[in-house]
A and B are shown apart, each in its own frame.
Chain A
Amino acid sequence: MSEHDLDRRKFIWQSGGLISAALLAACNSRGPKAADRLLKYAERKNRGLETALFRHTSMDVVQGGAHEAGNKLPAYFVSRTVPVWNESVRGKWALEVSGMVGNPLRLTLDDLQKLPQVSNRVNHYCVEGWTAVETWTGVPFRELAALVKADPQAKFVDFQSFDDDYHESWDIESAMHRQTVVAYGLDGKLLEPAHGAPARVYSPVKLGYKNTKYLTKIVFMPVMNGGYWSDQGYEWYGGV
């Protein structure tokens, strides 16, 4: 056996050990800090690609045979208890639609229900990986935008809530998608506090966390305005 062979064997064990050590160090970690900029760059590029892929004509379709989630739909909010609008303290609930609009409005639940209504049976795509089928009833966002005479320069829209400081801003194109509704009904009944009463935004073109519940304001904006989860590091675009 030559010296060469010994070197080779040493090399094999050393490289094996090195790779194992690197793997163990990487396990369950967030990865090297140095990669953060690269990851941010990738997210920006991916957002560009997702924006380019977006089509108003791409519709979410529920698969034949899929069952309604019903009471298996997870309820979720960021306040400590279910957020409920207290009329005796805050007065009658109304949704403010404002920002870059020609005709800002305050709409009560009655007002919303008098506007053109749609019911969409669609999938809910959660960032965690689960889906749920539900029927959402409400006003198409595009009807609201027309009603308030939204400025075409408003490329973003912020959905704000009374669930602490929860809000999420969207690109206007996703908001104008036909399946985006300001929903006050779920599965044929008025929305319950667990799922965002009195009204929430609902669209299958965005992941669950982008769909703000417990709405108070819809603000048309020239720039994006982050969001509750987006600011904590989830993708801002969150498109489906």
Chain B
Amino acid sequence: MRLTHWVNVLAIIIMVGSGLRIFNAYPAFARKGEMFCCYPFEHKPIPAWLTFGGWLGGARHWHFAAMWLLVVNGLVYITFIYLHGEWRDLVPRKGDVRDSWQMVKFYAFRRKDHPHQGKHNALQKTAYFLLPLFGLLAVLTGIAIWKPVQLAPLTALFGGYVWARYWHFLAMLAIVILSVVHVFMVFAVDPYSIPSMITGNYNPEHSPEARNARPFYHLFPKRVTAAPSAPAPAEPM
């Protein structure tokens, strides 16, 4: 289960890097002889250092190999989370919007105390619920632009090849944004969760809620010892 997280890290890095290298072969969306409405950076390549694969053919091989890693890993994750019942921590529930807003207010210093939460706070829950959905969108739009003739109905579902390629790009962007924010929050709010991403153990006394932690605020746990003025209890002889 935790293994799928790190396999996912590897798969996403390979897929995004090689995908951007493929994109750079034609960093635009317009059909030849047409304009494209909705991308402001047509014909501006992505910086090479963000790409992976070295050349178009190499990046395609990486992309079409790692896609299986991503898909199989995604299926394993969904299966595990279903069998273990952990999906219950992630499905949207009534009040999530309200709770998310409370988290936003807390992070923006408009609320003093950390809202009460379960395993994840409401913003986190939303992000972890959305990520697999964006992943699914990325996979489906990817298949649509891989096989636009043999699987034409799928491509048509996304508005044809040009638009499917655009949705594929946006799905990637959404995944990258969620991942970057996730990594930032891990380091800025809850670095104590990093060992738990590997070992599975988590000390609830270090949770952001217990520490009332905002990004870079209250990084260190509250002192758990009693107030210094309290007299030490007498030891029985």
Contacts and interface: CB of A to CB of B under 8 A. Distances in A.
A30 B49 contact: no
B65 A204 contact: no
Contacts of A129: 22-23, 25-26, 165
A39 B57 CA distance: 11
Query: Which of A27, A31, A68, A125 has most B Cβ within 10 Å?
Result: A31
Given A31-B62, A63-B160, A240 B147 contact: yes
A223 interface: no
A204 B147 CA distance: 11
Query: Which of A46, A124, A130 has most B Cβ within 10 Å?
Result: A130
A79 interface: no
Interface string A62-90: 01001111101110000000000000000
B58 interface: yes
Given A11-B194, A16-B187, A61 B165 contact: no
B60 interface: yes
Interface in A121-160: 123-133
A60 B156 CA distance: 11
Interface stretch (B31-39, B104-112, B228-236): B31-39
B27 to A, nearest CB: 9
Nearest to B148: A240
A46 B64 contact: yes
Contact of A66 (B31, B50, B192): B31
Contact of B152 (A61, A72, A233): A61
A9 B56 CA distance: 40
Interface residues of B, number: 46
B31 A26 contact: no
A228 to B, nearest CB: 12
A21 B13 CA distance: 14
B132 interface: no
Interface in B1-43: 13, 17, 21-23, 25-26, 28, 30-34
B150 A127 contact: no
B165 A39 contact: no
A193 to B, nearest CB: 19
B31 A126 contact: no
A31 to B, nearest CB: 6
A54 B147 CA distance: 10
B190 to A, nearest CB: 11
A26 B162 contact: no
Contacts of A38: 65
A233 B195 contact: no
A163 B58 CA distance: 25
A61 B187 CA distance: 50
A107 interface: no
B33 A31 contact: no
Contacts of B74: none
Interface in B168-224: 187, 191-192, 194-195, 220
Nearest to A4: B203
Given A55-B150, A70-B33, A130 B26 contact: yes
Given A28-B48, A28-B49, A70-B33, A131 B162 contact: yes
Nearest to A132: B32
A30 B53 contact: yes
Given A28-B48, A28-B49, A43-B61, 19 more contacts: A12-B191, A15-B194, A23-B13, A26-B17, A27-B49, A27-B50, A27-B52, A30-B53, A30-B58, A31-B53, A31-B62, A42-B64, A53-B150, A72-B32, A124-B32, A127-B56, A128-B26, A233-B55, A239-B150
25 contacts: A8-B195, A12-B187, A27-B48, A27-B50, A27-B51, A28-B52, A30-B53, A39-B61, A39-B62, A43-B65, A53-B150, A60-B149, A67-B34, A69-B33, A72-B33, A73-B33, A125-B148, A126-B26, A127-B25, A129-B165, A133-B33, A204-B149, A233-B55, A235-B57, A240-B148
A-B interface, 7 closest residue pairs, ranked by CB to CB distance from nearest:
A42-B65, A30-B54, A132-B32, A128-B25, A72-B33, A69-B32, A129-B26
Interface of B: 13, 17, 21-23, 25-26, 28, 30-34, 48-58, 60-62, 64-65, 68, 147-152, 160-162, 165, 187, 191-192, 194-195, 220
